[in-house]
Each structure stands twice: as structure tokens, then as C-alpha cells.
Amino acid sequence: MNISYEKLPLVNFKAPRVESHRSRAGKKPSEESIKQDNEDAGKIMSLVKMDGSVSLDDKIEANEKYMTETMPGKISKAVSLGAGGMRKPHYTRLFTLDNKMVFQAACCLPLRVIAANLDGDTVSGRILYSAHSDEEGGKLVYEFQGEGSELIIDVKRGESTKAQRLVFKI
């Protein structure tokens, strides 16, 4: 069976928006959690041998972050760290390099990119690093090909029925 992937809409722009828990509560990350996230990010970038070609000072943060339903009508499993659990790094960022973009994310759950769109066109990419453990959480480094001024990425965390949509203005 031949499937034309070019005709499949990978990013559903009409998916319902859902505010994240942090946005609803108006929470901001603490200085300590920002420091922990940056240390973790640097360590992961060194594992993919990109620590010399990217600087955490040159990262692009998402202009918009929200949740979208990937399977409307299904109940998403609630996930928590449990009482007294250690905080795991949580961040998403994008780096632009010579003719490519590198996306990096960390969360307490396994992570995967399920869709990406660059200025209206589907974007191809490859996983440079993906890992998950109970102690370290989920880590992902994903390289996209192409150029543009806006990148939309849908990232799925664990078995959730929702995806986090990130919009980067480049």
C-alpha cells in the first residue's frame, strides 16, 4: 500500500487548545529550576557532540506553548512525581545552526516529536538522542532540515492523549 505522506496533515491547526497547568496557575520557573534545566541541557548536548556548536545563550524559546487534543474524547492519564519526588528537568528549546534546526526537550515522561510544520510545509527530521529513565526523566534531541521563519512542533509525552504544541518564531 502506497501512502502519500505529503498529503497527510501532520499538524492539525484546528486541534482544540488546552492551557497547560503552569499557564492556568500563572507559575514561573524558579532560578534553581532554570539552573538545573540549563545544566541538564548542556550535558545532553555534549552527548550528541553539539556542545561546542551551540550555546545555551543562543537558544530560541517558544513564542507559544499549549496543549492540543490528539485523540478527542479519550481520557488522558494523569501523571505526577508523587509525594517527595525529585524534580526532573522540564524544558523545550530550539537552536538554529547552518541550514538546520535542533530541537531539545526534557520532561519526566518519554518524549517524541509527532508532527512538525515549517512555514506551512511538513518538515523532515531525525532523532539525535532519545532516552527515558525513572531517575533522569525523558530527554530528546531532534534535528530538523529546512529554513523558514516559523516552526510548529507537536511533542507527545508518554501515553498522553494530548500533545504540547510549540510555536517558534525564527
Segment 49-90, tens digit of pLDDT: 987 888 888 889 999 988 888 766 666 554 544 445 678 999
Predicted local confidence at residue 145, as pLDDT? 87
DSSP β-ladder status, 111-118 and 150-157:
antiparallel
Closest CA to 59 of 24, 92, 21: 92
Domain coordinates of the chain in residue numbers? Answer: 29-75+85-169
Rounded Cα gap, residues 48 and 120, in angstroms: 29
Torsion angles phi and psi, residue 2, rounded to 5: -95, 125
Rounded Cα gap, residues 126 and 141, in angstroms: 9
What the block records as the C-alpha cell of 15 is: 486541534
Tell me: pLDDT of 2 over 80.
Answer: no
Rounded Cα gap, residues 20 and 110, in angstroms: 18
17 alpha-carbon distance from chain centroid = 16
Segment 107-161, tens digit of pLDDT: 999 999 999 999 989 898 999 999 999 999 999 999 998 888 999 999 999 988 8
CATH topology of domain 29-75+85-169: Immunoglobulin-like (2.60.40)
80 alpha-carbon distance from chain centroid = 19
Rounded Cα gap, residues 128 and 51, in angstroms: 13
Predicted local confidence at residue 162, as pLDDT? 87
Rounded Cα gap, residues 47 and 102, in angstroms: 14
Rounded Cα gap, residues 74 and 162, in angstroms: 10
